[in-house]
Structure 1
Amino acid sequence: MGRHKSAVAERPRRNTVLTTHTVGRRRFLTYLVAAPLLTLGTEAVMQATSSSTPASAAVPSPPSPEDVFDIGEALKLAATPTMPLVQLEVGADGIARLQMPRTDMGQGLLTSFTMIIAEELDVPLDRVEVTHADARPELLFNQITAGSAAMRTFYEPIRQMAAIARARMVAAAATRWDVDGASLGTDAGAVIGPGSLTADFGTLSAAAAALDLATSSIRPKDPSEWELVGTPTGRVDARDIITGQKKFVMDHMAGTAKPALVRRPPTIKGAVGEVRNAAQVRAMPGVVGVVPIPTGVAVVADTIEQARQGVNALEVDFGPGPVDGESNATILEGIKQHVQPFAVPPLGAATVEAEFDWAPACHAPLETECAVADVRADRAEIWAGFQAPIVAQQEIALMLGLPQDAVTAHVVAPGGAFGRKCFFEPATEAAQVSQALGMPVRLMWHRTDDMRHGRQRPQNYHRIRATVVGGQVVAYEQRVSAVALEVAPGFGEILTDVATSLPPRAKNTVGEKAYSQTLFLLMVSSPYNLGVYDRTLAEIGNGIPTSAYRSVHCPTTRTCEEIVLDEVAALLDKDPLEYRKECAKDAAAAAVLDEVARLSGWGRSMPEGFAQGVGFHKESKTLTACVVELDGRDPQDPRVTKVTMVVDAGTVINPSGLEAQMEGCIAEAISLTLTAGLHIENGLPLEGSYSNYDWLRMRHYPKDSTVHIMPSTNEDIGGIGEVGITAASGAIANAYATATGIKPRSFPIVFPVDFEPFAPGALPAPNLI
């Protein structure tokens, strides 16, 4: 794949739904925060099917909040005031340096930022250094990584910074040589002048910085001039990763900080009582400390194995937790009780109705939760994979009794996150233990802790009804009920900040409960015209720790809609893919769906027990369509055999990075739709390792897998970190239904307890996990 610039005039422009002339920001945000319930009446439904609507057209739906102003726009808006505090520097060594206020968790931000700077500054990739910035309180809301918003937020500012830096270099050279700057060019980190004149950026940097240069008229390159952006590029940190040179969290202070593990309660959030044998455990070989903390009892030792043995030897009086005795089944029954009823459908209408439930899931990144802390009497340093480092710095300083500026929160590349590291319990625990012992510690959650006591994607339930009149869906109702999603620290403040234009009464509705409702509205929207929408979320706080999981509410909520859409298409005797084109809101959808149909061989004859399925999704201004082929001959062992995904993300910085993101999303979709979830029994998940958390193994990933990127349109850049899961999940579920004749209603579809759970509280030996 190369640059994509030739097809701009050959494809439809996006039918963007930014109807700001009809939906004012003040009015929209009132709807957004208040999350009003739309009452769907018979009269409204019948009016939607008036004779003025052609029989072949889908009944238009009003724009949803996400169509108008999504979470990425909220994060971008909140970051704008402090963007001038983010600076690009070119040193005397000619290297361009940027401290990135976002966290690269594997999604490739370091590479994309480097590519943009190198492109606009005209320097080689290896002359750009992008690193993670420590917590910088002055950045306020501009240092939180979430919502697929990093590139959407920084794309234009970084381009502009680099373009200004290049202009300064040219102006400095023109002054040095006393020539017209218009006669000069740049290449490979140098200014090129008439004849043999040349000057390296490093030799010009001091003079360039001292220039009094007007910058308002400086513009970045036109995309037609790009040589690097839009070209597939390998990760800039790939060599360091594969050679072991790249430092992850637990690589910091190795040999100085002592390893620590924690004995945790036998149920979720169980109370921590008396340690009956602390002295005996302290006397064990290698153990240097036993520290009770609010979440358990930490054991610090010379080696991680000595710490594990010490943890298992502890005798602790634990008290009850908030969900003792609860299970997936009892929690599901509880959240079902809060589902609101549907409106009454019009007489003579046909309906497609379904109920779905999704088990809780854990984030399960390759790197378990961990942090390194060195707390002294007057200062502290913390190393962790923070997604919200400023809030972490504030809360840790308060906990330690130190001024905020005495705590340095170092942002370290984590080995995966998927939203989990918006919370920072390991950093808090490490700081508590370090302060208690007066020594640096490297605290790691055991894999069993990570799965059993970590934050979950909430268990959730859906009731859906599509009302069909005259061969058209005229109303779509979806009731979602779930264990409450805890909104990460910092998000609430951002959502409050962007709602500053609300009337006073509406402002007062912004509270902890409103934040998760707002996230639901800002992230979940249907890409289809299905008449009158009525989608609501009810949340039940039961004490289970939860966190946003990649794409948050979209994979469950929208996958259920994708299944129902297939069932509506069957009712109307229409091809599922063609029906999606007919209903799609976005003008670019047809191109994406046509391309996925062409590349996948949609509609081709399949052997008995095999089937194709299609899914479509729009999120973060990006469109994805996916066709899956699935072997369903054994309904209890379904296998995805082929995946074709087509992505339209507007302007594409690095096609290789986008492709990798989509492949990761496909793997997650296969796992969470077919096999991966948590079984809660007696107040604790049974799963405690990869050996019994049925995540996809590489042998299960389809050998025939294609990710096709639509030609760049030079339009707004779309988010890509999350959008790929939902379309793939919908395609998998629909392929399973066609292949097996079984309509999937509970997820994951294949979910037995086919392992012997580890005993609660104990940490298994390394050979068992």
Structure 2
Amino acid sequence: MVATAAKLKLPDPASVALKPDSAFTIIGKSKGGYDSPKIVEGKPIFGIDVTVPGMKYAVFVKPPVYGAKLKSANIDAIKTLKGVTHVFTLQGYGDFHSLQDGVAIVADKWWYAKAAREQLEVVWDDAVGTSHDSATYAAKAKDLAKTMGAAVASNGDAEAALGKATKRIEAWYEAPFLAHVPMEPQNCTAKVTADGVEIWAPTQAPAWGRPHVAKALGVAEDKITIHMIRCGGGFGRRLENDYMVEAAAIAQKAGVPVKLVWTREDDVAYDYFRPGNYHKLEAAIDGGKVTAYKARAITFGRDGKVAQGAGIGPHDFVPLVSPNYALEQHLIETLIPTGYLRAPSSNALGFVHECFLDEIAGALGKDPFTLRQEIVDAAIASPRPVKDGERGPAYDPKRLKAVLASLRTRSGWDAAKSGNGIGYGVATYFSHRGYFAEVAKVKVDDDGNWKVLKVWVVGDVGRTIINPSAGANQVEGSVMDGIGEMMSEITFDKGRAVQSNFQDIPMIRMSQAPQVDVHFEISDNGPTGLGEPALPPVIPAVCNA
């Protein structure tokens, strides 16, 4: 049918009448999630539920220090334990996206494999991690902040404006490393035969995993079939497919189909963490306006290049604040695996710059909402030209202007009264082509415990919300994710993660979930995504409150 259709003559586009929005019967109408009833009923639809005939269960023990090498293990002793069918080592090849050194334990049941793991004694060569810990990183960041970094973006003369300013504001911000911690730990089922490799994986990017499996197993990519199974949460973690490579490699060496299931501790220890970063910020104030803005970011690198997920680009909001600005970046070399967490880069930079903007508003004696509107108005009056070599989505301040006006009304900002432990905060961000602004109402008790009571969200993602119900769900989920991220951090000690499970990585609970008011500001622009842009503003909005 496809081959026949490909031969049909295309009509003249000018003669094709498109269906008007008013005639849509699916687009723009709320539809429930296809799998929602199955999820509510506890149906086995996730990767961790997959079973295939003849399947065994596996755990894979990797070094607690990233990049460490396996020296020895009591493999013969583990082979004698109840239910254990195979124990062997696998050797990595230096690609942190793929297979690492480790010991595989295969058993008739997963519990047998886990119990055997607890008796495994492994010796690692882990000297590589000696200098990689949170305290060392923080000290390096402080030192680097004293010197000029590599230029990322600039306009005008920020140094001159800072030098002659009647008032200067300086601040130091830190954003921590974060783990993804999806509710379903990493898992994968794999079968390797002479005919090829078959994989069942809860992955966000199966095509990215295929070449890694091919390299680790020494098979052609066209011999690998990947079944994409529903994920129990991903948030960017399952863009990486290390667990897929591990399952396939174990199945190949064991000679039987294998389901690999990570423990929660594995899931935390071997995450691809949201990179931490540090920021020295300076602003100049003259005549009631921000005349200069300078941001020196210290983030992380690997092999001399910006680490995955650690990039800071010229379009990351700073240029909007002042006509004179400078954005610089230093790198701290790390062996910690880093990756993409929902709203990559923006989830940290939104906090940093939007909170500093509130400090600037305080120094100016201005309402923080009004200051943001003035900055947007100035950007409309004097558009910033895109310089040669710069890339990134075009920013239209007129769209954010409409979003802010709508939010000010919906949130009742001008009538909101802070006091008695109640505060209100506002923040905006242009992220992943979405224009969002949010107001948070927060209560702090006498012991310093805080709770977000309500969040108002207004966003512009174009002319059409394909599924309004799913759209609101994405925004509400982004708000909950952002608030949850404020409750934890990952720290490191000599190359290994200190935190390991929910006892030291608290998740937001239902009793902590705020009311969320969602409104989409419809504009005459093509629709863009909703998975990312509602998250960055909620963190600074809560902090500013």
Q: TM-score range by the shorter chain?
A: 0.7 to 0.9
**Amino acid in the other structure paired with 1:551:** A
Distance 1:272 1:238, change over 3 A: same
Structure 2 CA distance, aligned partners of 1:387 and 1:572? 46
Query: Which deviates further from its counterpart, 575-584 or 348-357?
Result: 348-357
Mapping of residues 116-127 of structure 1, within 5 Å: none
TM-score, normalised with respect to structure 1:
0.62
Mapping of residues 100-139 of structure 1, within 5 Å: none
Secondary structure at the residue paired with 2:353?
helix
Structure 1 CA distance, aligned partners of 2:453 and 2:159? 41
Match of 1:687 in 2: 499
Distance 1:210 1:298, change over 3 A: closer
1:55-87 CA-partner distances (Å, limit 9, x unpaired): xxxxxxxxxxxxxxxxxxxxxxxxxxxxxxxxx
Alpha-carbon shift at residue 695 of structure 1 (Å): 2.0
TM-score, normalised with respect to structure 2:
0.86
Contact residue 336 and residue 495 of structure 2 kept, 8 A: no
Alpha-carbon shift at residue 599 of structure 1 (Å): 2.1
Distance 1:248 1:471, change over 3 A: same
**Amino acid in the other structure paired with 2:433:** K
Structure 2 CA distance, aligned partners of 1:327 and 1:401? 36
Structure 2 CA distance, aligned partners of 1:542 and 1:611? 38
The equivalent position to 1:536 in structure 2, one of 328, 340, 344, is 328
Secondary structure at the residue paired with 2:144?
coil
Secondary structure at the residue paired with 1:566?
helix
**Amino acid in the other structure paired with 2:529:** G
Structure 1 CA distance, aligned partners of 2:135 and 2:241? 30
The equivalent position to 1:240 in structure 2, one of 28, 32, 38, is 38
1:591 and 2:399 are equivalent in the alignment:
no
Secondary structure at the residue paired with 2:398?
coil
Mapping of residues 117-196 of structure 1, within 5 Å: none
Distance 1:401 1:268, change over 3 A: closer
Contact residue 263 and residue 312 of structure 1 kept, 8 A: no
Match of 1:22 in 2: none
Match of 1:720 in 2: 530
Secondary structure at the residue paired with 2:530?
coil
Contact residue 165 and residue 284 of structure 2 kept, 8 A: no
Structure 2 CA distance, aligned partners of 1:211 and 1:393? 32
Secondary structure at the residue paired with 1:724?
coil
Match of 1:318 in 2: 124
The equivalent position to 2:478 in structure 1, one of 665, 688, 695, is 665
Structure 1 CA distance, aligned partners of 2:309 and 2:42? 42
Match of 1:552 in 2: 344
Structure 2 CA distance, aligned partners of 1:636 and 1:679? 23
Alpha-carbon shift at residue 227 of structure 1 (Å): 2.6
Distance 1:719 1:209, change over 3 A: closer
Structure 2 CA distance, aligned partners of 1:610 and 1:582? 26
**Amino acid in the other structure paired with 2:332:** I
Mapping of residues 407-486 of structure 1, within 5 Å: 407-484=224-301
1:307 and 2:113 are equivalent in the alignment:
yes
Alpha-carbon shift at residue 684 of structure 1 (Å): 2.3
- The percentage of counterpart residues that share the same residue type is 28
Structure 2 CA distance, aligned partners of 1:637 and 1:708? 29
Structure (1 or 2) with the greater strand fraction: 2
Alpha-carbon shift at residue 292 of structure 1 (Å): 1.2
Contact residue 462 and residue 557 of structure 1 kept, 8 A: no
1:402 and 2:189 are equivalent in the alignment:
no
**Amino acid in the other structure paired with 1:400:** L
Distance 1:523 1:297, change over 3 A: farther
1:137-183 CA-partner distances (Å, limit 9, x unpaired): xxxxxxxxxxxxxxxxxxxxxxxxxxxxxxxxxxxxxxxxxxxxxxx
Alpha-carbon shift at residue 244 of structure 1 (Å): 3.8
**Amino acid in the other structure paired with 1:215:** P
Secondary structure at the residue paired with 2:128?
coil
**Amino acid in the other structure paired with 1:632:** V
The equivalent position to 1:654 in structure 2, one of 467, 488, 494, is 467
Structure 1 CA distance, aligned partners of 2:253 and 2:31? 47
Match of 1:327 in 2: 133
Contact residue 431 and residue 536 of structure 2 kept, 8 A: no
**Amino acid in the other structure paired with 1:580:** R
Match of 1:261 in 2: 59
Secondary structure at the residue paired with 1:574?
coil
Say how many residue pairs are matched: 502
Alpha-carbon shift at residue 529 of structure 1 (Å): 4.0
Structure 2 CA distance, aligned partners of 1:439 and 1:286? 15
Structure 2 CA distance, aligned partners of 1:407 and 1:321? 37
Secondary structure at the residue paired with 2:312?
helix
Structure 2 CA distance, aligned partners of 1:517 and 1:290? 35
Distance 1:546 1:634, change over 3 A: farther
Alpha-carbon shift at residue 412 of structure 1 (Å): 2.3
Alpha-carbon shift at residue 635 of structure 1 (Å): 6.0
Match of 1:286 in 2: 83
Gaps of 5+ in 1: 1-87, 90-205, 487-511, 736-769
Contact residue 54 and residue 256 of structure 2 kept, 8 A: no
Secondary structure at the residue paired with 1:362?
coil
Structure 2 CA distance, aligned partners of 1:543 and 1:210? 50
Contact residue 294 and residue 327 of structure 2 kept, 8 A: yes
Structure 1 CA distance, aligned partners of 2:275 and 2:31? 36
Structure 2 CA distance, aligned partners of 1:440 and 1:335? 47
Contact residue 309 and residue 339 of structure 2 kept, 8 A: no
Contact residue 433 and residue 533 of structure 2 kept, 8 A: no
Alpha-carbon shift at residue 731 of structure 1 (Å): 0.3
Structure 2 CA distance, aligned partners of 1:616 and 1:706? 16
Contact residue 458 and residue 482 of structure 1 kept, 8 A: yes
Greater Rg over alpha carbons, structure: 1
Match of 2:48 in 1: 250
Secondary structure at the residue paired with 2:293?
strand
1:572 and 2:359 are equivalent in the alignment:
no
Contact residue 428 and residue 437 of structure 2 kept, 8 A: yes
Secondary structure at the residue paired with 1:393?
helix
Structure (1 or 2) with the greater helix fraction: 1
1:359-414 CA-partner distances (Å, limit 9, x unpaired): 21101111111111111234111222333333321221122111221122232222
1:533-581 CA-partner distances (Å, limit 9, x unpaired): 3223322222111111111111211211111111111111111111111
Alpha-carbon shift at residue 453 of structure 1 (Å): 2.2
1:714-755 CA-partner distances (Å, limit 9, x unpaired): 4211221111111111101101xxxxxxxxxxxxxxxxxxxx
1:16-61 CA-partner distances (Å, limit 9, x unpaired): xxxxxxxxxxxxxxxxxxxxxxxxxxxxxxxxxxxxxxxxxxxxxx
Secondary structure at the residue paired with 2:76?
helix
Contact residue 293 and residue 318 of structure 2 kept, 8 A: no
1:734 and 2:515 are equivalent in the alignment:
no
Alpha-carbon shift at residue 600 of structure 1 (Å): 1.9
Distance 1:714 1:587, change over 3 A: closer
Contact residue 84 and residue 106 of structure 2 kept, 8 A: yes
Structure 2 CA distance, aligned partners of 1:219 and 1:239? 38
Alpha-carbon shift at residue 422 of structure 1 (Å): 2.0
The equivalent position to 1:709 in structure 2, one of 520, 527, 540, is 520
Contact residue 52 and residue 257 of structure 2 kept, 8 A: no
Query: Which deviates further from its counterpart, 541-550 or 259-268?
Result: 259-268
1:497-540 CA-partner distances (Å, limit 9, x unpaired): xxxxxxxxxxxxxxx83686995327633483422232233222
1:215 and 2:215 are equivalent in the alignment:
no
Alpha-carbon shift at residue 222 of structure 1 (Å): 2.3
Structure 1 CA distance, aligned partners of 2:81 and 2:44? 34
Structure 2 CA distance, aligned partners of 1:728 and 1:369? 28
Contact residue 475 and residue 532 of structure 1 kept, 8 A: yes
**Amino acid in the other structure paired with 2:271:** G
